[in-house]
Amino acid sequence: MKRPILLLTFLLFTILLFSACQQKSQPKKTRSNKEIGQETLLKVAISKKALTLTSLMAIAGEQGYFKQNGLRIEKVPVGTVQSLINKQADVAMTAAIPALSNFLNNKNVKFLAAIENFDSAFDASNRFLVSRFPKKELKSIKVIGIQKKALNDRLLIKILLKKIGVDNRQVRYIEVPSEADRVVMLAKAEIDLAFLGSAKTVSRLKSEEGFTLFDSHRLFKGYNSPNGIISTGYAIEQKPEAIKGFVKAIYKALQYTGENKEATIAYFQKNGLSKTKAASLYEDINNSNTGLDYVPGKNISQIIQSILITARHFNPQRNPEEFIFKDYAAEAVDPRKEINRI
């Protein structure tokens, strides 16, 4: 009697064990974070000085557009493009020029969407070119002191040199990381020109003899350059749906500002701006994309080519067209054009 019971027990144990193994071996169906109500963390680098961009970010958050796209946003308090290169951020809201400069230096940087088109989109409004030569002798400039690995500065300086009548092909660059050291080298005639950003340093040099200062904001007046959403090939590969959702959220914020003037101005006032400044910022946002499509297309390509020709800044191994990645913006503008390619 004991043997049949033992045999039956063994058979039941074997069946249960086999069933458990079968269930374990079957792959589970995975769902996106958005489908199961979880949010994907997306790190965004953005300059506090870029009022239009920070305002759109704030509106997208307050109106729930990030949440609708399954996103939890974390702002990265470091340099915008460099934080992308260092993988400290997934996307950046910044000017196209620093990103383009890194792209030409063989970095896998992508321009995803165009947001504004300002004269001073280089974030150079508080920076100065300082020379030891008077204006009549600027063609004597031969040596320029720049920050170490300052790819963006080098491209900016090339454009600025064009503005002040100096041929950038006749100059060479010396990397001087410390701004204080650059000032000392200017005074000793070891360099002829430097790019400075410290308000205190610039204020002091204005009161001293022997220096010629050029306000980069004024030099860029009338110069055309877009601000927008930047990312990297690596980030797009790691978080394609999250970055696509971010591009959609910012587009919805742009639409909101266009359709809700009074509510947008009231929002700015609630966040500390006077009524006059709030109204002015609204007009800036509304006018900043004049002649500019959210989907980066032919007009962005033309602007990029114009910048490169002006600065004589090329890399024969890099096609500027590959800098533009328009798929996510195209889908944001027209959801029917869903694109799965990464």
**Interval 225-237: pLDDT, tens:** 678 899 999 999 9
Q: Which of 236, 231, 224, 222 has the alpha carbon at shortest distance from 300?
A: 224
Q: pTM for the complete prediction? A: 0.68
119, two tokens:
């004269």
Contact 236, 230 (CB under 8 A): no
Q: What is the pLDDT of residue 9?
A: 57
**What pLDDT was estimated at residue 41?**
95
Output the CA angle 103-106-107, nearest 5 degrees.
60
164 close to 128: Cβ distance less than 8 angstroms? no
Q: How high is the pLDDT of residue 337? A: 53
Looking at the DSSP bridge assignments, the partners of residue 230 are 92, 111
Q: Which two structure tokens, joined as six digits, stand for 57?
A: 């970010």
Q: Give the whole-number percent of the chain exceeding pLDDT 90.
A: 28
Instruction: Enumerate long-range contacts of 286-293, CB under 8 Å, 24 or more apart.
Output: 286/257, 286/258, 288/52, 288/115, 288/116, 288/117, 288/118, 288/227, 289/114, 289/115, 289/116, 289/117, 289/254, 290/117, 291/117, 292/114, 292/115, 292/116, 292/117, 292/226, 293/114
Backbone angles phi, psi at 160, to 5 degrees: -65, -40
Domains of the chain, CATH where assigned = 40-121+224-333 (3.40.190.10), 128-219 (3.40.190.10)
Torsion, Cα of 104, 109, 110, 114 (10° steps): -80
pLDDT value at residue 221: 59
Torsion of CA 316, 318, 321, 325, to 10 degrees: -170
How are beta strands 40-46 and 128-131 bridged, if at all? unpaired
Which of the pair, 194 or 35, is modelled with greater confidence? Answer: 194
- pLDDT computed for residue 224 by the predictor: 59
Name the band, by pLDDT with cuts 50, 70 and 90, for residue 162.
confident
pLDDT 10s digits, 211-270: 998 876 666 655 556 788 999 999 999 999 999 999 999 999 988 988 899 988 888 888
Q: What is the mean pLDDT of residues 297-306?
A: 71
- pLDDT value at position 339? 42
pLDDT range class, residue 125, cuts 50, 70, 90: very low
What band does 37 get if pLDDT is binned at 50, 70 and 90?
A: low
How far apart are alpha carbons 194 and 185 in whole angstroms? 9
